[in-house]
Amino acid sequence: MTDERFYPPINFASLDAHASAFETARVVVLPVPYDSTVTARAGTRDGPQAIIEASADMELYDVGVGLEPYRHGIHTMPELAPHTGSPEAMIDRIEEVVGELLDAGKFVVTLGGEHTVAVGAVRAHAKRTPGLSVLAFDAHSDLRDSYLDSHYNHACTLRRAHEVAPVTQVGLRSASAEDAALIRDERLGFYSPSALRDAGAQAVVERLSDDVYITIDLDCFDPSEMAAVGTPEPGGLHWDEVSALLTAVNRTKRVVGFDLTELSPSLGPRSCAQLAAKLAYRLIGLALGPVE
Amino acid sequence: MTDERFYPPINFASLDAHASAFETARVVVLPVPYDSTVTARAGTRDGPQAIIEASADMELYDVGVGLEPYRHGIHTMPELAPHTGSPEAMIDRIEEVVGELLDAGKFVVTLGGEHTVAVGAVRAHAKRTPGLSVLAFDAHSDLRDSYLDSHYNHACTLRRAHEVAPVTQVGLRSASAEDAALIRDERLGFYSPSALRDAGAQAVVERLSDDVYITIDLDCFDPSEMAAVGTPEPGGLHWDEVSALLTAVNRTKRVVGFDLTELSPSLGPRSCAQLAAKLAYRLIGLALGPVE
Amino acid sequence: MTDERFYPPINFASLDAHASAFETARVVVLPVPYDSTVTARAGTRDGPQAIIEASADMELYDVGVGLEPYRHGIHTMPELAPHTGSPEAMIDRIEEVVGELLDAGKFVVTLGGEHTVAVGAVRAHAKRTPGLSVLAFDAHSDLRDSYLDSHYNHACTLRRAHEVAPVTQVGLRSASAEDAALIRDERLGFYSPSALRDAGAQAVVERLSDDVYITIDLDCFDPSEMAAVGTPEPGGLHWDEVSALLTAVNRTKRVVGFDLTELSPSLGPRSCAQLAAKLAYRLIGLALGPVE
Amino acid sequence: MTDERFYPPINFASLDAHASAFETARVVVLPVPYDSTVTARAGTRDGPQAIIEASADMELYDVGVGLEPYRHGIHTMPELAPHTGSPEAMIDRIEEVVGELLDAGKFVVTLGGEHTVAVGAVRAHAKRTPGLSVLAFDAHSDLRDSYLDSHYNHACTLRRAHEVAPVTQVGLRSASAEDAALIRDERLGFYSPSALRDAGAQAVVERLSDDVYITIDLDCFDPSEMAAVGTPEPGGLHWDEVSALLTAVNRTKRVVGFDLTELSPSLGPRSCAQLAAKLAYRLIGLALGPVE
Amino acid sequence: MTDERFYPPINFASLDAHASAFETARVVVLPVPYDSTVTARAGTRDGPQAIIEASADMELYDVGVGLEPYRHGIHTMPELAPHTGSPEAMIDRIEEVVGELLDAGKFVVTLGGEHTVAVGAVRAHAKRTPGLSVLAFDAHSDLRDSYLDSHYNHACTLRRAHEVAPVTQVGLRSASAEDAALIRDERLGFYSPSALRDAGAQAVVERLSDDVYITIDLDCFDPSEMAAVGTPEPGGLHWDEVSALLTAVNRTKRVVGFDLTELSPSLGPRSCAQLAAKLAYRLIGLALGPVE
Amino acid sequence: MTDERFYPPINFASLDAHASAFETARVVVLPVPYDSTVTARAGTRDGPQAIIEASADMELYDVGVGLEPYRHGIHTMPELAPHTGSPEAMIDRIEEVVGELLDAGKFVVTLGGEHTVAVGAVRAHAKRTPGLSVLAFDAHSDLRDSYLDSHYNHACTLRRAHEVAPVTQVGLRSASAEDAALIRDERLGFYSPSALRDAGAQAVVERLSDDVYITIDLDCFDPSEMAAVGTPEPGGLHWDEVSALLTAVNRTKRVVGFDLTELSPSLGPRSCAQLAAKLAYRLIGLALGPVE
């Protein structure tokens, strides 16, 4: 029984003990406060906590989709500790932990940290879901094979992901000349915001296989809505567009998991964490639908 | 005679003694730095001063409406002191002071502070204007009967207002399951941004009676334009939309007073106070029109 | 068994499940994020969380006293929800909850929130400890009987406390003329920093009874070390002085509980939360000594 | 030969010694950290450095135009020192230095500082380019002949510019009654954002002569994208609109130089400097096209 | 009669109409938000307002000196507008206005703005007080004859002051080689903090004539207590030291006026404005003593 | 010849081309913006640039030691790029680069970045200076053999240093129980601030060998003077104490190089970078003395 004199404990969506118990929760939120390879501005390590704190201000009913996603049960893990030996070792740890959660039958929401953490999450999902495809929201192409002496630098995230599952990307507005050539030559499905608007959400959906993993680098958004990222790029996606695309994807595909990364809270107003929390909550609702 | 070597004193629109004298002013700005019941982030007590300071940077000519609203005379009151005995006592004080100003023939602009201050202002206007209706700009439904042990919590604002004058709301994108059911069951005129875009401004105007009080919780705006609020919600209204709706309302209705609340200056860039100041000035111009 | 791949959960001192279990913990930390009556700058509601977060960066061994205070067990409660009906109702709630914890045999550490929360904590302790005296650290005299229409305004804290247990105060450098006269006329033991330096810690200790409750308004510190308070006053106490006085008190008196209030994190650098966390941890160590 | 163990030196676009050498560079970036006459909030003196630092995070390939503008060579000058004798003397210095660079055959990009610095740059270009016209991006009309006792106050910038080359302006949403009358009476080409949207970019282009100097006060942008300016005005231009207009201008006109002013970094998130850097880089690419 | 439902208007010490009326006030506070020649970080233009706002949090009784200085009456002028023609013209304006106030029999407290504003104030006082000497608190020697092409740059302040009245300085810890040589060669009374501690306050007092003007650049303080200045220097003076020296000076000399400059509020915590307000209030009390 | 119309380029102490040329400079400043293993708050990667920028505000004459240290010539290197493969690889790179500079006859000043970078610098110096000892300024013992899966975590810095040269430490006020036991058992020369005050600077000097490397973690300072560090600890050293100890060391020992680390600029006011810059400049002056 809840003691009304107290606030609920700190967890995603500020849920009571019942709704957030690991055993019965369909969803597990995994905070990964890791930002070792970021080269511009640091601070994504504070992202997971900021998102979780912001989630306490949400109504549990999502008026945008007409659902109460928390009814699936959402458990929030303690923060994954960084392996400071090397980025590679940290990616391995993430893959291992996400894999254990998947094997326990959970729907895993990974909160970064830098975008690199997605590599571990994608690998864990790809290993367990044959034919998986990846939908990436990002402002950058991130297709470098190696950067600053590492294959696991955040600038290589989509290259690493693409090695285990085909990547479709939206939000592109920054790419090296080499990345741009690669996209052109290999006809990769990388969409700038205007390309997305021209092609329509359905064109993106059709590039995906039945089972989809979604990786969201929050810099896909326009900096007006999401300034709290290390390398903001003008001319990005807007909330309504992202929300509409996620709705379209979930209409015909099965989303098996997702991550939300690169929130660097001190670089923008608190509304950024709020957006991130609401985005995660909405995507849980869209992916899992109403409780039967 | 003005001494050009000095800036004007600090008041709304930075007016000289002549244009800001109480006796001759048609408009009175009432700052209410009260934020006792806010549960998320504090700071709306700093809102009125921030708006007044920002108003010094406006041109006195509003190029958007082609008027100089200050010619009606705008007097700025000293800040209303908080009654820290209880929120209810504070609401009573606001109703009392606003009422005195109305009885003195003034057009009252109340600057919050938390949205709760609107309850006092609405009551004072409703008591003096039979058939009054309320147009509310807000991201939240705020229809709870009681919250955190008080009927005067900021989450109950529109419920309290609705008790004395029918409320039409625009900007909705957050509601509890109970509030959402209430809106649906009682067919309340609560519009999300997309519902507003679909229905058009005129549909909203038609729900209003001849005399309208406008209450603006600044979180109605999209957080990209208004991050300086305690509970920002993505997907909000834009300046041009709000400005257009206000223009439409004033075309056929009589706006008898308004409030502007929930600016929490330290949570966003200074441009937020600027927007709030300009919004208040524009609404004065729209409501009172050119000086005859 | 602890999974080394994860950080400990969020609680005071970042303790594992064993060291932070309610049942076995000798110490209970009670966060009270309440700041309803503060008249200057808001934000103390964010104090408890900031202190708890900062406490994760402490070593569990306190090199200054040569102890590991956490070995007594420290449980962190969820945040006490504000009663927004009135300050008086909130004080009652605090007294009630602290009383329940005391009756359960706990040593209670109350983290504010505004200084007013101390009134509830002092009352709960005084009711259970005959002959209790209070040692207050504060920059202000806080002896007003009523302020801004309330007897429970933060400017009345020490007046309310003094009604249930005699108060000795240190750190004074701001008082109304009336408060100053009261102190002089009633020969209250209120010490400015220089008076404390002149008299010596022992003189303060001798004013106290055997059982002492300590209430700390963090503005007792010099603003150079503690800028994150609403009404900083230059010329305050320094860490070494406060630490030395606390050591002296604990040498001959029994400290039965304490509170730490008025941290408003956004008003100063993060080092302020760090100081507060370390102060609380040290005082736990001093009050309870080594585990037998 | 570059030592890969080191980052490139600090200059615009973070170019190596070869690409940034003065002798071979087609483009020279001139930082002018001057903000002496700004009357609202200070801080534009920090603008040039913020833009240059932000430029290090850009890819050298601009995916939006499909070019690598740096291949023209871009040299960054040391910061121009302020002449604190008078604004007039400083404008003279800017005209002198820009003139010397033009005479050396360079394409000059002046980074303010307050918008006043544009007066020196415009004069230097107008003197060397008969028939020059000016395209100004600005939220304000800035047509006062004198302000606060100076003809070189930032509120007089476009008046001073207009004296040496006809000015077409876009982004207008703030003007004094006198400025508005002047625009109306003299049929000046000053476009509010909605007027620009109605008329179309081509209408603006047609007002320009063959040789165009572009002066950009960053407050032309909507504050949601550019909060870091001293006098933000709601309802401004968006990145895609500005980018499209610049593209249209360069399609048929020769842009002979430009400035970018009024970034006051501490007033908004870092994404503002990022936008400014990318805008400058894009405009270099548009003006100079591919390297032959 | 005061309406208790409202806060007092915004003025120094937050005084009611009676205590702040110009006619009866012995003291006039003159805010000069001017920072045109500062070369490092801008922002002292926001200093006067920050000090005035902070002064509202002071008790009107100064417990440190046992007085209520406001009983002399303190009137706050509107802000002096900047003359943006040249620094010299602005200094002339300050001298003119301060002179008018002195001729009206007022005790003038000038709030900067940059330290340069002191030149105008010193000149006005020196012209009316034969034999005046100046006591300067400053971290820097500020003895350059000219800097960045101006004789009125803030780096020349004490040189300009010394030309009209002999300057004794305390707090020195930064000087050019030339300034250091000048101090040594001309045996100027410039004291570093440690020199002041060695010599004692009385040695400084003895260098002064009977009538003393005090000019305070807030960077005289240690940055731990006063970070909100453009060029902080470690190893500065502490509150108790400054307070003690001011007390010593007023014991045997007549202080005829003073200024307080260089507060740049956004560069440090709000406690800095609090210190400045309290310092001004204390110095008023010390200079004028109890009301007879 | 210098063009007086421009500021000098950005380098340590803002020196002209002559005084900062690599070939003739006795001193080389090496910025290492690396913060990969920091576990609390990130941001030390911004430290080197902040220190270099702050150094532009220093007078070139250090009035505290009566010298112009820049006359030895001070060259500032471009920033060392992070090796994101692993911390170990980065330490190797630092050792390599510092070694090359030492072999070129330079006095190397390494600016971190996290304290870990000192390991590379110490190794390079120890390899070239038989009998070297290390004087460490730090709040923490940093003697862990491994932390978060790495031997090169910042919590292991002094353990790694101690392996190649005996370490004497001052400023200690945080240690794990294990570290504290190690210090006690091995009688390591680790001094808390009060132990240093009791023993006197000379006692510390006597523990050192003739050739000394100095490593400074800026958290040795009291947070009142240095809030801009990730893990501030109350009760630290003051500027005058650190300055005095450095003077004492240089009186009888030869300082062969030093580093300055852990400045995380956004965590405190700008005065922190100012202190760091002045400390580096003073230590250069003390180590190299007057130019012969």
Q: Which residues of E touch D82 (CB under 8 A)?
A: 39, 148
Tally: H helices and E strands in chain D:
9, 8
User: Reduced to 3 states, what is the DSSP secondary structure of residue B110?
Assistant: strand
Q: What is the pLDDT of residues C216-236, one digit of tens each?
A: 999 999 999 999 999 999 999
Quote the CA–CA distance of E256 and E287 in Å, as a whole number. Answer: 8
Q: Which residues of F touch C63 (CB under 8 A)?
A: 172-175, 180, 192
Cβ separation of C84 and B35 shorter than 8 Å? Answer: no
Q: Which residues of C touch A77 (CB under 8 A)?
A: 6
| Average pLDDT of chain B to the nearest whole number | 95
- The contacts found for B144-150 with CB under 8 angstroms, 24 or more apart, are B144/B176, B144/B178, B144/B179, B147/C84, B148/B37, B148/B39, B148/C81, B148/C82, B148/C83, B148/C84, B149/C83, B149/C84, B149/C85, B149/C89, B150/B37, B150/B87, B150/B88, B150/C83, B150/C84, B150/C85
Considering only CB atoms, E82 lies closest to which of D39, D46, D85, namely: D39
Interface of F with A (CB under 8 A): 35-37, 39, 41-43, 45-46, 81-87, 89, 147-150, 152-153, 266
Q: What is the pLDDT of residues E137-186, one digit of tens each?
A: 999 999 998 888 888 888 899 999 999 999 999 999 999 999 999 999 99
Q: Indicate the burial class of B283 (C-beta count within 10 angstroms; 0-12, 13-18, 19 or more).
A: buried
How many CB atoms sit inside 10 A of residue A292's CB? 3
Considering only CB atoms, B63 lies closest to which of D180, D228, D229, namely: D180
Calculate what percentage of chain A has a pLDDT beyond 70: 98
Confirm whether the ipTM is greater than 0.90. Answer: yes
B150, B157, B159, D82, D260 from B147: Cα distances, Å: 5, 11, 11, 58, 50
Distance from CA of B76 to the nearest CA of E (A): 10
User: Reduced to 3 states, what is the DSSP secondary structure of residue F265?
Assistant: helix
| Average pLDDT of chain A to the nearest whole number | 95
Distance from CA of B246 to the nearest CA of A (A): 24
Distance from CA of B9 to the nearest CA of E (A): 5
- Closest residue in E to F58 (Cα–Cα): E174
Instruction: Please check the confidence at residue D1 and state whether its pLDDT lies above 60.
Output: no
Cβ separation of D81 and E42 shorter than 8 Å? Answer: no
Please give the DSSP secondary-structure letter assigned to residue F218.
G
Which residues, in sequence order, are bridge partners of residue F168?
F135, F189
- The contacts found for D142-148 with CB under 8 angstroms, 24 or more apart, are D142/D115, D142/D179, D142/D217, D143/D175, D143/D179, D143/D182, D143/D183, D144/D176, D144/D178, D144/D179, D147/E84, D148/D37, D148/D39, D148/E81, D148/E82, D148/E83, D148/E84
- The contacts found for D202-207 with CB under 8 angstroms, 24 or more apart, are D202/D248, D204/D135, D204/D168, D204/D170, D204/D245, D204/D248, D204/D249, D205/D248, D205/D249, D205/D251, D205/D252, D205/D253, D207/D133, D207/D168
Distance from CA of E45 to the nearest CA of F (A): 18
Q: Which single residue is written with the structure tokens 């989709």?
A: A65
Q: How confident is the model at residue B102 (pLDDT cuts 50, 70, 90)?
A: very high
Phi, psi of A202 (to 5 degrees): -60, -35
- Which residue type, as a one-letter code, is found at position E22? F
Distance from CA of D223 to the nearest CA of B (A): 6
Q: Which residues of F261-288 are buried (b: 16+ CB within 10 A; e: fewer)?
A: bbbbbbbbbbbbbbbbbbbbbbbbbbbb
Residue F105's pLDDT is what?
Answer: 98
Quote the CA–CA distance of B240 and B247 in Å, as a whole number. Answer: 10
- Closest residue in B to A224 (Cα–Cα): B224
B14, C26, E187, E211, E247 from E207: Cα distances, Å: 46, 63, 12, 12, 16
Residue F41's pLDDT is what?
Answer: 64
User: Reduced to 3 states, what is the DSSP secondary structure of residue A196?
Assistant: helix
* pLDDT (mean) for A139-151: 90
pTM of the model: 0.95
Mutation for D interface: E84, E90, E151, E153, most D CBs within 10 A: E84
Cβ separation of A77 and C6 shorter than 8 Å? Answer: yes
Q: What is the pLDDT of residues D70-123, one digit of tens each?
A: 999 999 999 999 998 899 999 999 999 999 999 999 999 999 999 999 999 999
- Closest residue in B to C86 (Cα–Cα): B86
> Chains with ≥3 Cβ pairs under 8 A against A?
B, C, D, F
* pLDDT (mean) for C160-184: 96
Which residues, in sequence order, are bridge partners of residue D111?
D31, D260
| Average pLDDT of chain E to the nearest whole number | 95
For D95, the token pair is 């005209």
Q: Which residues of B touch D142 (CB under 8 A)?
A: none
Quote the CA–CA distance of A157 and A151 in Å, as a whole number. Answer: 9
Distance from CA of C23 to the nearest CA of B (A): 29
How many CB atoms sit inside 10 A of residue B66's CB? 11
Comparing C-alpha atoms, which of E196, E227, E180, E188 is closest to residue F60? E180
* pLDDT (mean) for B105-132: 97
Cβ separation of F60 and E267 shorter than 8 Å? Answer: no
Mutation for F interface: D3, D4, D5, D97, most F CBs within 10 A: D5
Residue D187's pLDDT is what?
Answer: 94
Q: What is the largest CA-CA distance in chain C?
A: 62
Comparing C-alpha atoms, which of A111, A121, A41 is closest to residue A74? A111
More confident residue, F203 or B84: F203
Considering only CB atoms, B77 lies closest to which of E6, E78, E81, namely: E6
Q: What is the pLDDT of residues A25-54, one digit of tens each?
A: 999 999 999 988 765 567 899 999 999 999
Cβ separation of A78 and C6 shorter than 8 Å? Answer: yes
Phi, psi of E52 (to 5 degrees): -65, -45
The residue ranges of chain F whose pLDDT is under 70 are: 1, 38-41
- Which residue type, as a one-letter code, is found at position D174? S
Q: How confident is the model at residue B152 (pLDDT cuts 50, 70, 90)?
A: confident
Distance from CA of E11 to the nearest CA of B (A): 10
Q: Which residues of E touch F68 (CB under 8 A)?
A: 177
Q: Do strands D74-76 and A74-76 pair parallel, antiparallel, or not at all (unpaired)?
A: unpaired
Which residues contact residue C10 at a Cβ distance below 8 angstroms, ignoring those fewer than 6 apart? A10, C52, C53, C56
How many CB atoms sit inside 10 A of residue D94's CB? 28
More confident residue, E43 or E283: E283
Q: Which residues of E touch C234 (CB under 8 A)?
A: 225, 239, 271, 274-275, 278-279
- Which residue type, as a one-letter code, is found at position C7? Y
Comparing C-alpha atoms, which of D13, D52, D44, D177 is closest to residue D117? D44
Instruction: Please check the confidence at residue E292 and state whether its pLDDT lies above 90.
Output: no
Cβ separation of F85 and A89 shorter than 8 Å? Answer: no
Cβ separation of F78 and D7 shorter than 8 Å? Answer: yes
Q: What is the pLDDT of residues B197-237, one digit of tens each?
A: 999 999 999 999 999 999 999 999 999 999 999 999 999 99
Distance from CA of E282 to the nearest CA of C (A): 12
Cβ separation of F84 and A87 shorter than 8 Å? Answer: yes
- Closest residue in A to B226 (Cα–Cα): A271
